[in-house]
Amino acid sequence: MFTMTDVTRGRVLGFVAGLLVGGAALLLYSWPDGLWYLGGVSLLVLACAVYGLPAIVAQLRHHHQRHAILVLNLLLGWTFFGWVVALVWAATAVRRDTPGSSAT
- pLDDT tens digit sequence for 47-63: 888 898 999 899 888 89
Nearest to 90, CA basis, from 62, 81, 74: 62
Average pLDDT, the chain: 79
- On whether the pTM is more than 0.75, the answer is no
The 3-state DSSP class for residue 20 equals: helix
Q: Exposure of 76 by Cβ count < 10 A (0-12 exposed, 13-18 middle, 19+ buried)?
A: middle
**What is the rounded CA–CA span in Å between residue 97 and residue 89?**
19
* Least confident range of 9-13, 47-51, 72-76: 9-13
In sequence order, what DSSP letters do the residues of 63-84 get, joined into one string? -TTHHHHHHHHHHHTTSHHHHH
